[in-house]
Structure 1
Amino acid sequence: MSREEGLQRRYSRLEEALEIKSLRRIISAYINYADAAEEDVKRYERSFRKLSREHKGLLSHLPLKFQRFRRCISANSFFIMNMLQAFDPPFDMSQDIDFDGHSDIGRFSNGHLCTHASHHMQDYSAYVKGSVPESIDIASGPELSSCSGSCDQTPSNRNNEKQEISSESSCSLVMNMNTPNGNTNLIDESMDKVKLICNLDASLHDSTPNGNVRCIIRNIVRDWAVEGQKERDQCYKPILEELNRLFPDRCKERPPSCLVPGAGLGRLALEISCLGFVSQGNEFSYYMMICSSFILNQTEAANQWIIYPWIHGNCNSLSDDDQFRPISFPDIQPASAGITEGFSMCGGDFIEVYNDMDQEGAWDAVVTCFFLDTAHNIVEYIEIISKVLKDGGVWINLGPLLYHFADSCAPEEEMSIEISLEDAKKVALQYGFEIEMEKIIETTYTANPRSMMQNHYYAAFWTMKKKPRT
C-alpha cells in the first residue's frame, strides 16, 4: 500500500468515525425527547407548588393539565420510536470509534452529514405504481446506497446500478411497536434496545440538545399535515405553478429533471415529482433525513400517525385545547401520490455532493425554498447552482435571508457571508443568470396558526434563467 493510499484509508476511517459520532448524537437526541419534555413538566409542577393555597384554588385544573402533557409526550415518543426502529443507518453503529491523533475533531458540526464520503441515496421509484411493493418489508429500514465522492444518480445515469449497503454492517432496529396508546413500558424497552444496538453511552445521551427534535415535529406539520396546507400554499404552490408554466410540454418518456437542495422532510421534492419531473431532494441534516425516510418509505396509509406538536410552548396559547390539539399525518400516502420514476433523496452537504464534474450541466431546473440562507458562503451556493444547471435551465428561489451562521458562537475559522438581497441578485448575474420574474411573498415557517404571536417573512421569490455560454 502506498503512502497516499494509507493516508486516504486513514482519512476514510476518520470520516466514518465522525459520521458515527454525529449520528449517535442525533439518535440520542430523539431518544432523549421524552426525558427532556418530562423535565419541562416537572418544572411546571414545581412552579405550581409554590403558589399560595388561594391561587392554587383558582388554577385547580393545572395538575390534570400536567398529566395531559405526559400523555401527549408519550404519543410523540411512540411515533419517534417507530421512526427509529425503521431507520437503517449506513454504518455499523455498534463499533467503537477512535479519534487518536485527530485533535481537531471538535470543529465538525453535529447533527449533519458532515464529511466528504457521506452521500447516501434513497430511490423512491419503486412507488411509482401507486402502492407499496410486496417485496418491501415495512418493518425493515429504508434501502440506502452509498455515493462515494459524488451523488451518482444524476438525471442522465439514474438507472446505474448502485452499491448496496449490506444488512450485516447496519443497525437495523426491527421491533414491534404496536402500542397506539403510547405504552410507556414498551417505549422504554425499545429505547434501551436502540441504545444497546447503537452503542450509546449515558454521557452522550445526557448532553445531547433536544431543540432539534421539537423543530422536526413542527416541520412534520408544515410538510405532511392538513394544518400545514396554508404554509405549503404560500411557499410550495407558487414554485409548482412556476415549474408548470416554464415546462408546459413535459412527457413521461423524457421528463425534465429538477434538483431540490435543502429538501427537509421531502414534501416539495415529492410534489415536483408528481408534477412530472425527475426530482431529487438533497438534505444535509440527519434529523431531517431520518424522519423524511420514514414518512416517504414506511407510510402505509394517510393519517397513519398522530402527534401533538404544540405542547412545548406555553406562551401565546388561546386555550389548553388549542395547545393539546392532535395533528394526524401524512395527509397523503406518498406511495399513492403518483410520483415520476427517478424520484430520490440524496443525503450530504450540497456543495460537496454537487460540486462534481458528473453534476455539471445535469439539471433542467433547481428549486431552492428557505435554503440560500443556510450557507456559510452564499456566493458558493449560487456558483454551484449555476454549475449544475444546463444552459437555458431555470433556478426558482423562495425564501428570506435569515443567515443561519450569523451571530453564532462558532470558532473563529467558521465563515458566515451575510449579504443583502440586492447583492445576492448581483452575484447571480455574474454567474450567468438573468432574472425572468421576481416578487415578494409573505409567509410563515412552521408557525402555529392558532398562536397569539405570528412571525411573518417577506420572502424573495424569483425565477432566473441560465444564459447559454457564448
Structure 2
Amino acid sequence: MSPIEDEQLRRRKLEEALEVKSLRRIISAYLNYPEAAEEDIKRYERCFRRLPLAHKALLSHLPLKFQKLRWCVSKNSYFIFEMLKAFDPPIDMSVDTDIAEDHAIENAPVQQLSSTEMNPHSCQPGSNITLLHNAKVDELRSGEDGLSGTPNPETLSEEKKIQSLSENVGNFSVASERNGMAQGGDVHSYQSATHCCDGHASPSPDWLDPSLQFHVPLADVDKVRCIIRNIVRDWAAEGQKERDECYRPILQELDRLFPDRSSDSSPPACLVPGAGLGRLALEISCLGFISQGNEFSYYMMICSSFILNYSQTSEEWNIYPWIHSNCNLLSDKDQLRPVSIPDIHPASAGITEGFSMCGGDFVEVYNDPSQVGAWDAVVTCFFLDTAHNIVEYIEIISKILKDGGVWINLGPLLYHFADAYNQEDEMSIELSLEDVKRVAFHHGFEIEKESTIATTYTTNQRSMMQNQYYAAFWTMRKKPPTPTSAPDAAAA
C-alpha cells in the first residue's frame, strides 16, 4: 500500500470512528435522561430539607410531588427507550473509536471536538439553548465537551471535512396503509416499515449495550428535554394552537397556489427544510403533494422516524413534557399533566405517495446539480435563521425551485449563531428582514403576498410566561429568466 493510500485509509477510519462516537453521544444523551432528571429531583429534595420546620409544614405536599415527578420521568424514559430500540443506525455502532480519542488528544490545544448546536427558538424562549431543528454539518462529529453557551471550532480543516451523514442516512418514510409499504425518496433508505411496538417489550439491540455508551454533559440532555416539548408542538392535540398559527397559513397558501394537484398525473413536489419532527411535511403530503422533509439534527430524526414509522394508533403514548421546569406554574397539576401522542395515526392520515424525510445538512444535500429545478415549492418554517450564511440558503432555494416555483416562509430572524462569541471561525451572517428580501430579489424572487403572524414556539400553553414572535410570512415566486431580445442577441 502506498503512503497516499495508507493516509486515505487512516482518514476513512478516523471519519468512521468520529461518526460512530458522535452518534453514540446522541444515543447516550437520550439514555442519560432519567439520571439527569433524578439529579434535579434530588436537588429539589435537598432544598426542601433545608427549610425551617414551620415552612416544611406549610409545604408538606412537596415530598409527594417529588415522587410524582419521578413517576413522570419513568414514563418519559420508557417512551425514549422504546424509541431507541426502534432506531436502525445507518453505521456500524460497534466500530472501535480509539482512533477518534487519539485524534482529539493530539489536536486538543487548538481543535477540540464539540457540539455546535444552538437554537434560540427551542423550549425556553429568550435563552440560548441547544439546536433542535438545524445547525451545521458536523453535529454527528461533536466531541465530549457539549454546549457551554458557545460553539467550538471544527476539528478538521475545511479541506478535510468529514462527509456529512446525509450521504449515509438518506430517507425514512412513513408506512402507508394504502399500499402496505413505505414510500421512500430518491436516495438511500434506511427505515423499515415493520412495526416493533406491539405492546410487548422487544429485545434491546446490541448497539444499546451500556458498554458502548458514555456520560454526556447536561447540555446534551437538555436537547432531549427540548425534543420532548417539540413532540407536543408537532404531535399532540395541545400543540394544535401553535400548528394553527404556523402551519395552517402555509397549508392554506399551498392549497390556493396549487388548486389542481389532485388531477395531475404527477403531483407537485414540495421541500420542507428544517422539518423537525415531520408534522408540517406530513400535512403537506396529505394535501396531495409529493413532500420531502429535510432535517439535520439526529435528535430530531430519531424521534420523527419513530413517530412516523412505528406509531400504531393515535394517542398511543403518554408523555410528561412540562416536568422539568418549576417556573411560571399556575399549579402543580398543570406541571404534572400528561400529553397523549400522536394526536393522529400518521400512516392513516392520507399521505401522498412519495412522502419522505431526508437526513442531512440542507446546504450539503441540496446544493447538488441533481437538485437544480427539482421542486415546485419550498416551505421554510422557523428555518432561515438557522443558517451560518443566510445568503447561501436563499441562493440554494432559488436554484432548486423550478422557474415559476414558489417559496413560502414563516419565521423570525433570531440567528442561531449570533452569540458565538470568541469563535473566529464561527460564521454568522445576520441580516435585517429588509436585507433578506433584497437578497431574495437579487436571486430572482418577487413577493406575491406578505404579512406578519404572531406565534409562540414550543410554549407551555398553561405557563405564566408566553414568549411571542412576530414572524415574517411571505409567498415569493421565482421569476422565469428574461429572454434575450433579438437585437441584443444579434449584437452579442
Using structure 2 for the length normalisation, give the TM-score.
0.81
- Corresponding letter in the other structure for 1:340: T
Which residue number in structure 2 is paired with residue 219 of structure 1? Answer: 230
| 2: CA distance, partners of 1:382 / 1:413 | 22
Is 2:31 the counterpart of 1:19? Answer: no
Contact (CA 8 Å) 1:85, 1:175: kept in 2 or not? no
- Tell me, yes or no, if the aligned pair for 1:94 and 1:198 is still in contact at 8 Å: no
Pick one of 365, 375, 379 that aligns with 2:387: 375
Letter in 2 for 1:303: E
Aligned residue for 2:213, secondary structure, equals coil
Which of 120, 131, 139 is matched with 1:112 structurally?
139
Distance 1:175 1:231 in 2: 29
Distance 2:71 2:14 in 1: 42
In the alignment, what sits opposite 1:397? Answer: 409
Q: 2:288 aligns with which of 273, 276, 279?
A: 276
Corresponding residue number in structure 1 for 2:72? 72
Alignment coverage as a number of residue pairs: 430
What code does the residue aligned with 2:32 have?
Answer: N
Q: Tell me if the contact between 1:395 and 1:463 (Cα under 8 Å) persists in the aligned partners.
A: yes
Contact 1:28–1:208 (CA under 8 A) maintained in structure 2: no
Aligned match for 2:445, one of 418, 426, 433:
433
Q: Which runs of 5+ in 2 are unaligned?
A: 118-137, 142-161, 483-492
Q: CA deviation at 1:166?
A: 11
- Tell me the C-alpha RMSD between the 2 structures: 2.8
The CA deviation at 1:3 is 7.4
Unaligned runs of 5+ in 1: 137-142, 145-152, 180-185
CA distance in 1, matches of 2:44, 2:253: 48
After superposition, residues 21-420 of structure 1 pair within 5 angstroms as: 21-97=21-97, 98-99=99-100, 100=102, 103=107, 104=111, 106=113, 109=116, 112-113=139-140, 115-119=162-166, 120-124=169-173, 126-127=175-176, 129=178, 153=185, 158=186, 178=200, 195-196=208-209, 199-201=212-214, 204-205=215-216, 209-250=220-261, 251=263, 253-409=265-421, 411-420=423-432
How far apart are residue 17 of structure 1 and its match? 2.4
Distance 1:313 1:393 in 2: 44
Deviations 1:414-460 (A, max 9, x none): 11111111111111111111111110000000000000110000000
Percent identity (aligned): 65
Instruction: Return closer, same or farther for 1:177/1:207 CA change in 2, 3 Å cut-off.
Output: farther
Q: For residues 169-204 of structure 1, give each alpha carbon's deviation from its aligned partner in whole angstroms, at most 9, with x where no partner exists.
A: xxx9x899747xxxxxx9xx969x654277123xx3
Asked if the contact 2:164/2:361 (under 8 Å) is kept, the reply is: no
The equivalent residue for 2:155 is none
Return closer, same or farther for 1:125/1:291 CA change in 2, 3 Å cut-off: closer
Moved more, 388-397 or 206-215: 206-215
Would the alpha carbon gap of residues 444 and 207 (structure 1) be closer, same or farther in structure 2, given more than 3 Å must change? closer
Displacement, 1:29?
0.6
Where 2:209 maps in the other structure, the secondary structure is helix
Secondary structure of the residue that 2:212 maps to in structure 1? coil
What are the superposed Cα offsets for residues 251-289 of structure 1, whole Å, 9 maximum, x if unpaired? 352100000000000000000000011100000100000
Confirm or deny: 8 A CA contact 1:12 1:117 kept in the other structure: no
**Structure 1 residues 266 and 4: CA distance shift in structure 2, 3 A:** farther
- Distance, in Å, in 2 between the alignment partners of 1:370 and 1:247 is 23
**SS of the counterpart of 1:382?**
helix
Change (3 A) 1:190 1:73: farther
Q: Give how far 1:210 is off.
A: 1.0
Contact 2:171 2:191 (C-alpha < 8 Å) held by counterparts: no
Q: Displacement of 1:408 after TM fit?
A: 2.4
Cα deviations by residue, 1:225-249 (Å, 9 ceiling, x for unpaired):
0000000000000000000111111
SS at match of 1:376: coil
CA shift in 2, pair 1:13/1:434, >3 Å: farther
Find out whether 1:457 has 2:464 as its counterpart. Answer: no
Q: Structure 1's 194 and 47: CA in aligned 2 closer, same or farther, altered over 3 A?
A: farther
